[in-house]
Amino acid sequence: MRPSSSPSDGLLSGLSGTPDVDAELGDPALLRALLDGEAALARAGADAGVLPGSAADAIVARCRPERYDPVALGRAADAAGNPVVPLVRELTAAVPAPARPWVHLGATSQDILDTALSLVAVRALGPLLRHLDAAVDAAARLAATHRDTVLVGRTLGQQAAPTTFGLKAAGWSTGLAQARDRLRQAGAGQPAQLGGAVGTLAALGPAGPRVAERFAARLGLPASPLPWHTCRQPRLDLTAALGAALAATGKVALDVGLLAQTEIGEVAEGGTGRGGSSAMPHKRNPVDSILIGAAARRGPGLVATLFGAVVQEHERSAGGWHAEWEPLCELLHLAGGAAGRCARLLAGLQVRPERMRANLDATGGLVLAEAVAARLAPAVGRSAAHDLVTRAAAAPSFRAALLADPEIRAHLSEAQLDEALDPHRWLGSAGPLVDRALAAVRGAGR
């Protein structure tokens, strides 16, 4: 039986992840990160003079993932409650006898596993952030292309007033960019962990702080001023940022799925051969929107688990820390899949301006009722103008009712009414807002 590998390596899990992110999350990736931690610990100890350089060389030489079976380590982990204990046992047995006393010197299991999960997160965030970059760029291109493409804005599930598809896409781009930037910042703040049994670094003597600094530097992770065994703020930052990324991609997916409904038909997902049905030959389902939406719905429960686990007792937690491991990896998996699918969705999105205009016109100008009332208000007051237009809106033909109402015609000519019923004249600052959003997105640091 082959060992387990990527979270995407399954009948269902591939529908929520993406291979490049998941390659950094599976058992082989975690095992590599654990061994990277042990190797860095040995090198850091040698840097600080607390163990011989020859011992560090011997330990590092045996920190190769192919020497160890993650399935066997996982089974052995049950006896100690984490996989570091059996891994250290096997690593110690693998090194020459003179180096064995120096394996895992000064560390506790949590130090290595916390550090490994920081490495896993940082490595997974590389491709994840590239997907978010691509999604931001694709949404920005849609916003620029359709800056002035009118469509009906919808509030509370109903047609409301004209807006532009460019403004909608600019909102997607801005939300994705904010989530990306927050996630990048959280990833950069995932520190190494080294404190020993109770956070005093006692086993390393006076050199403890120096070893901790060198340990972090060897791994390319930030050093923490103190061990953070039960102070989980870095993980909370990452958790919140991953939840925000799922929310931003989920927003895009929800909008696209609604706009792609048959009765609306203002957009469609691209991709030849995608969206088929096993029963209905005519179906072309918005599968990327569906799968992104599924990931976004799973995210809050995982975020809640991680936030619920964060209040931890004394110097080391009994259960709270353990509760973090799998939900954190699952969040990375889901956010990676959502980001990758969102980038693909936006890059291939088919936009149908003619359908947008037809839907805007479907109510015979009712979505411009606010514009008519605004033209009428200087003459009769806002409240009276609202009441007059509301009365006309109840008629079978809105325009005909406006033209037939003597109180309205006393103040507005037919030409003025037609101007008020032109959606292009009631877009407010939509165009400049798109421009501002694009300038902000394109000017953001990558």
196 and 287 inside one domain: yes
Q: Kindly give the interhelix angle for 233-259 and 109-145, rounded to the nearest 10 degrees.
A: 30
231 and 370 inside one domain: no
Domain boundary among 333, 354, 375: 354
Given a cut of 60, whether residue 277 has pLDDT beyond it is: no
**Contact (CB, 8 A) for 215 and 51:** no
Residue 145 lies in a domain: yes
Question: What is the pLDDT at residue 270?
Answer: 87
Q: Which of 54, 64, 277, 383 is catalytic?
A: 277
What 3-state DSSP class applies to 314?
coil
Domain boundary among 307, 330, 354: 354
Question: What is the pLDDT at residue 1?
Answer: 37
Residue 275: band (very low, low, confident or very high) from pLDDT cuts 50, 70, 90: low
* Percent of the chain at pLDDT exceeding 90: 92
Residue 7 lies in a domain: no
CATH number of residue 417's parent domain: 1.10.40.30
Residue 291 lies in a domain: yes
pLDDT one-digit tens code per residue, 85-116:
999 999 999 999 999 999 999 999 999 999 99
Question: What is the pLDDT at residue 7?
Answer: 57
214 and 94 inside one domain: yes
Is 43 tagged catalytic? no
Question: What is the pLDDT at residue 284?
Answer: 74
- Looking at every residue in the chain, the average pLDDT score rounds to 95
Residue 14: band (very low, low, confident or very high) from pLDDT cuts 50, 70, 90: confident
What b/e sequence results for 410-420 when a residue is b if at least 16 CB atoms lie within 10 Å of its CB, and e otherwise? eebeeeebebb
Residue 279: band (very low, low, confident or very high) from pLDDT cuts 50, 70, 90: low
Q: How far is CA 234 from CA 40, 115, 191, 200, 335, in A?
A: 21, 12, 7, 20, 18
Residue 5 lies in a domain: no
287 and 419 inside one domain: no
Residue 183 lies in a domain: yes
234 and 85 inside one domain: yes
Specify the number of domains making up the chain.
2
Domain boundary among 354, 380, 408: 354
269 and 322 inside one domain: yes
CATH number of residue 59's parent domain: 1.20.200.10
369 and 304 inside one domain: no
Average pLDDT score over residue span 325-334: 98
Residue 3 lies in a domain: no
Average pLDDT score over residue span 169-174: 98
Residue 79: band (very low, low, confident or very high) from pLDDT cuts 50, 70, 90: very high
15 or 42: which leads in pLDDT: 42
* Plot region of 365 (φ>0 → left; ψ -120 to 50 → alpha; else → beta): left
314 and 433 inside one domain: no
Amino acid letter for position 233: Q
Residue 170 lies in a domain: yes
Question: What is the pLDDT at residue 96?
Answer: 97
Classify strands 267-268 and 158-164 as parallel, antiparallel or unpaired. unpaired
pLDDT one-digit tens code per residue, 419-430:
999 999 999 999
Average pLDDT score over residue span 194-201: 97
Question: What is the pLDDT at residue 276?
Answer: 58
Given a cut of 90, whether residue 5 has pLDDT beyond it is: no
Average pLDDT score over residue span 203-218: 98
Average pLDDT score over residue span 212-226: 98
Average pLDDT score over residue span 355-379: 97
34 and 71 inside one domain: yes
Residue 55: band (very low, low, confident or very high) from pLDDT cuts 50, 70, 90: very high
15 or 336: which leads in pLDDT: 336
What 3-state DSSP class applies to 213?
helix
Residue 1 lies in a domain: no
Structure tokens that stand for 189 in this block: 């703040």
Task: Return d(Cα 225, Cα 394) in angstroms, integer.
Answer: 68
CA dihedral sign, ordered 275, 276, 278, 279: positive
Question: What is the pLDDT at residue 262?
Answer: 93
Amino acid letter for position 70: P
Average pLDDT score over residue span 243-253: 98
Bridge partners of residue 373, in order along the sequence: none
Residue 59: band (very low, low, confident or very high) from pLDDT cuts 50, 70, 90: very high
In sequence order, the 6+-apart residues with CB closer than 8 A to the CB of 330 are 7, 298, 302
Average pLDDT score over residue span 46-74: 97
Q: Which structural domain range is residue 423 located in?
A: 363-443
Residue 273: band (very low, low, confident or very high) from pLDDT cuts 50, 70, 90: low
**Contact (CB, 8 A) for 179 and 441:** no
Polymer length of the chain: 446
Q: How far is CA 169 from CA 152, 156, 411, in A?
A: 14, 19, 38
285 and 368 inside one domain: no
Is 277 tagged catalytic? yes
pLDDT one-digit tens code per residue, 111-121:
999 999 999 99
Task: Return d(Cα 170, Cα 160) in angstroms, integer.
Answer: 19
Of the listed ranges 6-20, 186-200, 330-344, 396-410, the one predicted with least confidence: 6-20
pLDDT one-digit tens code per residue, 353-365:
999 999 999 999 9
210 and 253 inside one domain: yes
Residue 4: band (very low, low, confident or very high) from pLDDT cuts 50, 70, 90: very low
Local structure of residue 377 (DSSP, 8 states): H
Residue 2: band (very low, low, confident or very high) from pLDDT cuts 50, 70, 90: very low
Question: What is the pLDDT at residue 305?
Answer: 98
Q: Which of 43, 316, 352, 399 is catalytic?
A: 316
337 and 202 inside one domain: yes
